[in-house]
């Protein structure tokens, strides 16, 4: 009796293992088909195996959806999303399908995953959001899509701020033409102009000023674009700001004026420029 029971258990275990191998095999087939964009195979697997783990991950944490987002396979992305693929699943680098699609510049995939509920605020291990990646790579269409979806990063920085920081003049002009708020502030109270001046981006600084950016706006520490430019020693930027009406008398929360910052940091040329513009000690 014990022998027959042992045989029965062995048979059951064998069947379960065989079933598990079959399931694993179909998961691998699905992943391979997704990578290759074999939509017919993907549809057949999904139709024949309704219980398949569509969100199974490989050694790097990538799902079938992430692979197909990387390769820009539109039909496959639609099929996987329609079958319930997790649009916000993360791999080991904390990249999502959206971040991966943005990185590769796949505009149509970005549209699909945004419409499927992709979280546009997620940061990967490098601290990059989809918006930052799009802005860094000057993917103008994708930047527009993310802005339309309300994208900002955790510090409240907008696409205009990123474009200003990295001196993407064409993108800055396009965003302004689309009607973005030129004086919008991030969580620290910094405007796009402040991001540009802090980084010494004179060309973008001029574009923003010509478009009506408030040269004397203050952040939460009551620093203006001029105070920030002086702090970082941006001589040419200081000159641009002074020519555009920067107030040399403003003091920040510490009670420091632009002149005090310049003299404290031995920025003699900037100090002379400020004195000439009417700054008082």
The dihedrals phi and psi of 251, each to the nearest 5 degrees, come to: -120, 145
Instruction: Look at the chain and count its residues.
Output: 281
User: What pLDDT does 4 receive?
Assistant: 56
Over the range 253-273, which residues count as b (16 or more CB within 10 Å of their CB) and which as e? eeebbbbbbbbeeebeebbeb
The string of pLDDT tens digits covering residues 138-174 is: 898 898 888 778 777 778 888 899 889 989 898 899 8
* Tokens encoding 65: 């959806």
Domains along the chain with CATH numbers = 1-154 (1.25.40.20), 157-281 (1.25.40.20)
Helix and strand element counts for the chain (H, E): 16, 0
User: What pLDDT does 19 receive?
Assistant: 44
The dihedrals phi and psi of 25, each to the nearest 5 degrees, come to: -65, -40
Cβ neighbours for 216, distance < 8 A, ≥ 6 positions apart: 224, 225, 226, 245, 246, 247, 250
> What's the mean pLDDT in 244-252?
97
User: What pLDDT does 207 receive?
Assistant: 98
User: What pLDDT does 12 receive?
Assistant: 42
Closest by Cα among 82, 158, 146 to 111: 146
- Kindly indicate the confidence band of residue 84, based on its pLDDT and cuts at 50, 70 and 90: very high
- Kindly indicate the confidence band of residue 2, based on its pLDDT and cuts at 50, 70 and 90: very low
User: What pLDDT does 258 receive?
Assistant: 97
| Mean pLDDT of all residues belonging to the chain | 89
- DSSP letters of 97-112? HHHHHHHTT-HHHHHH
Give the DSSP H or E segment for 210: helix 202-210
Q: How many CA atoms lie within 13 A of 223 on its CB side?
A: 21
User: What pLDDT does 7 receive?
Assistant: 53
Query: 84 vs 27, 47, 69, 256, CA distance in Å?
Result: 15, 13, 15, 57
Give percent above pLDDT 90 in the chain: 68
The string of pLDDT tens digits covering residues 117-131 is: 999 989 999 999 998
User: What pLDDT does 210 receive?
Assistant: 97
């Amino acid at each position: 009796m014990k022998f027959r029971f042992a045989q029965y258990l062995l048979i059951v275990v064998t069947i379960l293992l065989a079933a598990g191998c079959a399931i694993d095999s179909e998961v691998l087939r699905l992943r391979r088909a997704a990578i290759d964009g074999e939509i017919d195979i993907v549809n057949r697997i999904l139709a024949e195996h309704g219980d398949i783990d569509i969100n199974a991950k490989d050694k790097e944490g990538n799902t079938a959806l992430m692979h197909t987002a990387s390769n820009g396979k539109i039909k496959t992305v639609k099929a996987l999303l329609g079958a319930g693929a997790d649009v916000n699943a993360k791999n080991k680098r904390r990249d999502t399908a959206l971040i991966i699609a943005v990185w590769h510049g796949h505009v149509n995939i970005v549209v699909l995953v945004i419409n499927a509920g992709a979280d546009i605020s997620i940061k990967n291990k490098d601290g990059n959001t989809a918006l930052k990646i799009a802005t860094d790579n000057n993917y103008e269409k994708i930047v527009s899509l993310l802005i339309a979806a309300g994208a900002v990063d955790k510090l409240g920085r907008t696409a205009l701020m990123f474009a200003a920081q990295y001196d993407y003049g064409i993108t800055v002009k396009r965003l302004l033409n689309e009607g973005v708020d030129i004086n919008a502030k991030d969580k620290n109270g910094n405007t796009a102009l402040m991001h540009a001046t802090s980084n010494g981006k004179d060309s973008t600084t001029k574009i923003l000023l010509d478009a009506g950016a408030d040269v004397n706006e203050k952040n939460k520490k009551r620093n203006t674009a001029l105070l920030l430019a002086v702090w970082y020693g941006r001589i040419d930027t200081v000159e641009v700001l002074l020519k555009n009406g920067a107030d040399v008398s403003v003091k920040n929360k510490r009670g420091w004026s632009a002149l005090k910052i310049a003299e404290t940091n031995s920025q003699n040329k900037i100090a002379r420029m400020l004195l000439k513009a009417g700054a008082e000690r």
